[in-house]
Amino acid sequence: MLGIGLIKGLAETGRNFVGSYLDPDRLVTVEYPEERLPVKENFRQFPFLVFDGEKADIGLRCVACQICEKECPPQCIYIEKSKDKKPDHLGKPQFYPAVFDIDISVCMSCQICVEVCPFDAIKMDQQFELSTADRFRGLLLTRDRLAKPNSHFQAIHPRDAAEIDMRRVDERAKAEAKAKADAEAKAKQATAAAPGATKAVASTPKPAAAPANEGAIS
């Protein structure tokens, strides 16, 4: 009969109206600025650079290899390699990015830079409240704005961070062991050759490794 479907529909909306006062399933609004949905661990927005330790300019993991720059689909990363080198967490001297700019007005949050980075240096941040009236300076993230401590990474991607930290501790332990072994071997050679030079050789890797170590554990 004419009107039955209409009445069924009215009953449905009526049920939802009443239900919105009784059943949380029928009132799904999350009042955003005050209430927030839990952020998913995998959620990604824009990249940031991880640094170990306290200071961004010392602990930056990025070695300016420019792989991410090349692989970035929309070409929104701009890197200038440093002239000099700094030791990384294993103590190996590496370049660092003198300029590392990401134009987040172009970035498509595809995470390919993260996937291709062999140094775990670039990761995805979860900050999304970035609206700004400043078109040119507000949206070009420079190295200083991109650098965030490892503790931040651990906070937003705990599973990933734990895995990476573990690996880096292992790597470091291996490197140290190797350095030690090398040093010992050298020391042996040295003692064999000239006993006076031992001390200087053995102490070389230490100062370089110190800041990286802090970061990995913090």
Partner 1 sequence: MPSHGGATAKVPTEAGAPRGPDAYRLTAGDNEYDDGSLLEISMGPQHPSTHGVFRMDVVLDGETVVKLKPVFGYLHRNHEKIAESASYLAAMPYTDRLDYFCSLTNNWAYALAVEKLAGLQVPERAEFLRVITAELTRLQNHVCLAGFLMQDMGASGTPLMYGFREREKILDLFEALTGARMMCNYMRFGGCRCDTPPGWLEEVRKVVDRFPRFLDEFENLLSSNEILMARTQGIGVLTRDLAINAGITGPVLRSCGVDYDLRKVDGYGLYPKFQFRVPLGDHGDTYDRYMMRILEMRESLGILRQALDAIPEGPILDPKSKLRGFRPKPGEAYGRIEAPKGELGFYLISDGSPNPYRYRIRPPSLINLTVLEDLCLGHNVADTVTILGSIDIVLGEVDR
Partner 2 sequence: MSLNEIYNWGRSNSVWPLQFGLACCAIEMIASTMARYDMARFGSEVFRPSPRQADLMIVSGTVTKKMVPQIVRLYNQMAEPKYVIAMGACAISGGPFKQGYNVLKGIDRYIPVDIHLPGCPPKPEALIHALMSLQKMIADQPLTGEGRPRHLKPEGASEFPIPHQGEQDLEPPCNPHIWRPPAIPRPVTA
Partner 3 sequence: MAATLDQLFVQLLHGMTAPLPEAIRPWVALAISLGAILAVFGLCFGITTVCERKAIARMQNRLGPNRVGPYGFLQFAADGIKTLTKEDIVPRTADQVVHFLAPLALLVPVVLTFLVLPFGRNMTAMDLEVGLLFFFAAGASTELAVFMAGWSSRNKYSLLGAMRAIAQMLSYELPFILSTIGVVMITGALSTTKIVEAQAAAPGEWLARWHVFTPWGLAAFLLFLIAAFAESNRSPFDLPEGESEIVAGYFIEYSGFKFALFFMAEYLGMFSSSGMAVTLFLGGWTAPFAFLDWVPSWMWFFGKLGVLIALFIWVRGTTPRLRMDQLMDFAWKFMLPLALIILPTAAIWHYAGRGWLGWLVTAPIVVGAYVLLGRSLVGRRRIRQRSYRYAAT
Which residues contact partner 3 (rule: CB under 8 A)? 1-3, 6, 9-10, 12-14, 16-17, 19-21, 26-29, 31
The single-letter code of the amino acid at 167 is R
Check residue 115 for interaction with partner 1 (CB under 8 A): yes
Residue with smaller CB distance to partner 2, 36 or 199: 36
Residue 3 binds partner 1, judged by CB under 8 A: yes
In the chain the first and final C-alpha atoms are separated, in Å, by: 72
Binders of partner 2 among 96-115, rule CB under 8 A?
103-109
Contacts of 9 (CB under 8 A, 6+ apart): none
* Shortest distance, position 125 Cβ to partner 1, whole Å: 11
Near partner 2 in 156-215, by CB under 8 A: none
Q: How far apart are CA 155 and CA 150, in angstroms?
A: 9
CA distance 83 to 145: 22
Do the bridges between strand 47-51 and strand 122-124 make them parallel or antiparallel, or are there none, so unpaired?
A: antiparallel
User: 3-state class of 86 per DSSP?
Assistant: strand
Q: Decide which of partner 1, partner 3, partner 2, none touches 134; Cβ closer than 5 to 8 Å per partner kind.
A: partner 2
* Backbone φ/ψ region at 158: left (φ over 0), alpha (ψ -120 to 50), beta: alpha
**110: CB partners within 8 A, 6+ apart:** 73
111 binds, among partner 1, partner 2, partner 3, none (CB under 5 to 8 A by kind): partner 1
**Could you tell which of partner 1, partner 3, partner 2, none binds residue 21, using a CB distance below 5 to 8 A set by kind?**
partner 3
Contact, 129 vs 32, CB < 8 A?
no
Using CB under 8 A, list all residues that contact partner 1.
Answer: 2-6, 8-9, 11-13, 28, 40-44, 67, 71-73, 108-112, 115-116, 124, 159
> Which chain residues interact with partner 2 by CB under 8 A?
28-33, 36-37, 45-46, 73-75, 78, 80, 103-109, 128-136, 138-140
